[in-house]
Amino acid sequence: MLQSIDLKTKLRLSFALIVMLMLLLKLDINSYLKLALFALAYVAVAYETVIAAFKTLFKRFRMSEQFLMSVATFGAIALGDYAEALAVLIFYEIGEIFEEYASGRSHKEITSLIALKPQIVRVIDKDGNELKVKPRKVKVGQTIRVLAGEAVALDGTLKNDSAAVDMSALTGESEPFLYKKGEEIPSGGINMGSVIELTVTKDNSNSSITRLIELIEDAAANKSKPEALISRFAVYYTPLVVTCAIILALVPLFVAGESFSDWIERALVFLVVSCPCALVLSVPLSFFGGLGAISKIGVMVKGSIHIETLSKLTVLALDKTGTITQGKFKPADFIVDDGSSKSELLSCVYALESATTHPIGTAIVNYCKINGVELKKAEAIHEVSGYGIEGIIDGKKVAVGSREFIEKITSRTDLDQSNVIGTEVLAAVDGRFIGGIVLNDEPKAGALEFFGSLKSLGITSCMITGDKESVAANIAKRLGIEKYYAKMLPEDKLKAVKDLKTKSTAVVGFVGDGINDAPVLAASDVGIAMGQFGSASAVEASDVVVMNDDLRKIPQAISLARRTYKLAMQNIVFVIACKLLILVLGAMGIAGIWVAIFGDVGLCVLAVLNAMRALTWVKVKRGGTIS
């Protein structure tokens, strides 16, 4: 910390401290010399504070904490307490230096990602020459080169056979990610192997690292309720304190036999101890430290207001496909109706599902490609949201989708069922049921541990899925999910979250992919997007972004949010209680100016030190994240 203090400040404070000690020790020095030394020391430490105080007063018509300190020193000088006048300013400035250091450390924790954004990119032109240009000048489709140990400046697909990339600053995982040829590497990672080349897929303004930096820089604007309350109260607080101090100083006018000097000294104690620095600085520092700790585990929170909400979470709802489960469906069984064949079923389903991007459709398309199923041309394709898809194949009207959808089209409720529990995709041709495919989707690694952690935190888990009752019940039973909603259409998810919020004490979070679930993410008290490296939809719709697909990060983030909120409350209660005690003792004449200085600077330092504990909560070590 001492290294961060400039020489001029060190000399000013050292000189003022020496003069203050001389005055306290009452050394036998010529009175004029003593007065001259005091004047020099006072100007050295008071100049910036007094100027700032009166600038704020006359230009912005506000009384700042500098104004409180200035008035307190004027009063001390009037009473002849020169050492005390210097002490107020010296320790106030020392406190300011300490607070600036602590604030810098907290900000460094959360803004360290900015250092991962290179200022120069190596672009390979058509002739194979390497050109060094600014990231903003690189266009999608161009080839860039990343040397070993360099950060990936822009998102791009890998042209090499493989690459090892350290993503720890983004995901909190210390083990490098292994990428294969053709896979997209997000910007912000560090190339751990040999030289690699990428084909740029996102320009600078839309790159993963740019969006994350924007998220971090905006986080400070979203203040928690305690922060916002303190910020608003500070505007009215200082004038109120000055008024109370004036009333104290004037007590001898109304009470006979009282000394003006005694009551002025009590008023000075009131002014010094009432400085709001301890609260104004330690509470935001607590939240900023919490933001930094949570970012270390690969979770980005968009401001301290969401840390507060996260800490109070009572219900967490999750989308099933791709959030709880892997979203990698595999055909497990086939239903073939009499008069139809498996090849007809696969041919119809393949033709229509090839026009969709849903994970179920992708799984069916991949299966058909591997097994050599002929891809027929489908026309007049029409998607029925939440139900299925329709189209014309070989002049016949084909429908593919959920059991309810096909039952409606065939006017039948006795369609064949499989003994295998899974997600069904049924098909009909010209209103005739031909069969269906049953697909399985396994839970993500760590899903069971995730739901166990939620339960230990006292949070009710809830799954929302468009799947049928049996599939939802099976997943819920396997993973210990306490509540679930099955057969939900996209618009029904919003109703489900609102239903969960009907309880007056419920604070509801929702976990989704941040793209299809934007309305639900926005409607929940806290929206959490999974595995989104800077996706525009994820960042805009959610309040919290988990940088990879590890569900276990969420309970960790909730635990850290609770510790952060508890830390901020500790500081608020501790500071207010101590200051009130000193105010009462000061008004009674028991506590003097030195106790008041401790009540200002001492409490501030203690509160800031307490807030800085958040910076030590998470340590990333080789082999994993430890919190």
Helix residue spans in 397-546 (DSSP H): 403-410, 447-456, 469-479, 490-500, 518-523, 536-541
Non-local CB neighbours of 599 within 8 Å, separated by 6+ positions: 272, 273, 578, 579, 582, 591
Tokens of 162: 């493989």
For residue 212 the two structure tokens come to: 């994350």
Report the alpha-carbon distance of residue 238 to residue 229 in Å, rounded.
Answer: 15
The candidate with the shortest Cα–Cα distance to 24, out of 12, 41, 8, is 41
Rounded to whole angstroms, the Cα distance separating 558 from 382 reads 42
Where do runs of H (alpha helix) occur along 501-552? 518-523, 536-541
Active site residues: 319
- Identify the helix (H) or strand (E) that includes residue 305: helix 304-311
- Cα angle at 427 between 422 and 430, to 5 degrees? 165
Q: Which amino acid is at 89?
A: L
User: From the centroid of its chain, how far is CA 68?
Assistant: 36
Query: 325 - beta bridge partners?
Result: 443
Helix (H) or strand (E) holding 5: none
- Nearest in space to 322 (alpha carbons), one of 460, 474, 180, 512: 512
Please answer whether residues 63 and 239 qualify as being in contact, where contact means their C-beta atoms are separated by less than 8 angstroms.
Answer: yes
CB 443 within 8 A of CB 325: yes
How many angstroms separate the CA atoms of 42 and 45, rounded?
5
Tell me how far apart the alpha carbons of residues 148 and 191 are, in angstroms, rounded to a whole number: 5
Of the candidates 625, 617, 624, which has an alpha carbon nearest to the alpha carbon of residue 106?
A: 617
Tell me the two tokens of residue 232: 């608003």
Token match 């400039």: residue? 6
- Who contacts 477 (Cβ-Cβ below 8 Å, separation ≥6)? none
d(CA 305, CA 61): 29
Q: CB-side exposure of 23: number of CA atoms within 13 Å?
A: 26
